[in-house]
Amino acid sequence: MEYIDSIRNVSDLVSLFELWEGKAPISERYTVKDEEHDIVINHAANKFIPDGIVNTDLWQDYEHKKILYILKEAYIRENERAFDLAEWIREKHPDTRIWNRIARWTYGIQNTSANSIARYIRDIDEDSDLRKSLFEQIAVINLKKSGGKPQSVIEEVAAYALSDREEIIRELQLIDPDIVICGSTFWILHRFVFGKDPLNGKSTCDNWYYYMNLDGKERLYIDYYHPANHWPDLVNYYAITSIYQQALIEKTSKNMLPKGLTY
């Protein structure tokens, strides 16, 4: 309990990651197609990769929406050293398919309101200054902090999330986002991290968004595909911005109702 108390009371991300990386190894088991697998989660020995807020100064400026992406794992090659993902994004503003897609989604959400959706910008990957500024407006959490693979085994990611649920909850609280975009991770988050049924028995929401309090504060969660999905960029862009717009419309409708009534 001493370690858990330290995690729950830690006040900054750097200290959280230091505790997390030094966590004692834990054995977990997961099942894939009726075949059981045993793993030892040992972050200190398995290239722990911290993540979090890309630009802490911009995150607190109150002029931008605070958008957090919850992804599966950070892949690292066998001959590579562990690295700080948030720092890497800030310094490299990566020009790859996945990260350019995240930049587009960020642009769309930052510039979409209940009344209008920001127009898709095709060449956002060619504008390095714009891409850099968009990356500095986000935060990232990988549910699996070490031992990343080029192709995720979702059951293994879930096992890591279950083992590290206290740390993930505290990281979410310290980042304190307004909007949480789950890249094929929402079900892991609510089932294995929070151990709750936020949908009250329903399998999904018709519009793939949820206003819910999972960690002590209500946030908007968007349950969407991983940014590596194979749908075209244009389809992805207007899908996620439309989902976000519908969430804003619902929030606006609720706020406009007479006192005592619910939506």
Q: What are 90-116's pLDDT values in tens digits?
A: 999 888 889 999 999 999 999 999 999
Strands 52-53 and 138-148: antiparallel
5 falls in which pLDDT band (50, 70, 90)?
very high
Report residue 142 CA to chain centroid gap: 7
Q: Looking at 37-41, 204-208, 222-226, which range is the least confident one? A: 204-208
DSSP state of 180: E
Average pLDDT along the chain: 90
Give the Cα separation of 246 and 255 in Å (integer).
14
- Per-residue pLDDT at 257 exceeds 80: no
62 falls in which pLDDT band (50, 70, 90)?
confident
Give the Cα separation of 152 and 148 in Å (integer).
8
Among residues 174, 122, 145, the alpha carbon closest in space to that of 71 is found at 145
Beta strands in the chain, from DSSP E residues, in sequence order: 26-32, 35-41, 52-53, 67-75, 138-148, 179-183, 209-213, 218-224
| Residue length of the chain | 263
259 falls in which pLDDT band (50, 70, 90)?
very low
Average pLDDT over residues 68-92: 90
Question: pLDDT value at position 77?
Answer: 78
Q: Residues 102, 150, 243, CA angle at the centre, nearest 5°?
A: 30
Q: 48-256, which class in CATH?
A: alpha beta
The tokens for 202 are 């329903």
Helix (H, G, I), strand (E, B) or coil at 161: helix
64 against 79, higher pLDDT: 64
- Per-residue pLDDT at 198 exceeds 60: no
Q: What torsion do the CA atoms of 37, 40, 43, 45 make, to the nearest 10 degrees?
A: -110
The radius of gyration computed from the CA coordinates of the chain, to the nearest angstrom, equals 19
Average pLDDT over residues 241-253: 93
- Per-residue pLDDT at 263 exceeds 50: no
- 141 forms bridges with which residues in the sheet? 70
Question: pLDDT value at position 225?
Answer: 96
Asked if 186 contacts 192 with a C-beta cutoff of 8 angstroms, the reply is: no
Q: Looking at 84-98, 118-132, 249-263, which range is the least confident one? A: 249-263
Type of residue at 63:
E
Q: What are 29-55's pLDDT values in tens digits?
A: 999 888 899 999 999 999 999 999 999
Question: pLDDT value at position 134?
Answer: 96
Q: Is 118 exposed, middle or buried (0-12, 13-18, 19+ CB in 10 A)?
A: middle
Question: pLDDT value at position 53?
Answer: 98
Q: Looking at 75-84, 156-165, 168-177, which range is the least confident one? A: 75-84
Type of residue at 155:
E
Q: Indicate whether this model's pTM tops 0.95.
A: no
Q: Which long-range contacts (CB under 8 A, 24 or more apart) does 83-89 make?
A: 83/49, 84/49, 84/50, 84/51, 85/49, 85/50, 85/51, 85/52, 85/140, 85/142, 86/50, 86/51, 86/52, 86/53, 86/54, 86/139, 86/140, 89/54, 89/135, 89/138, 89/140
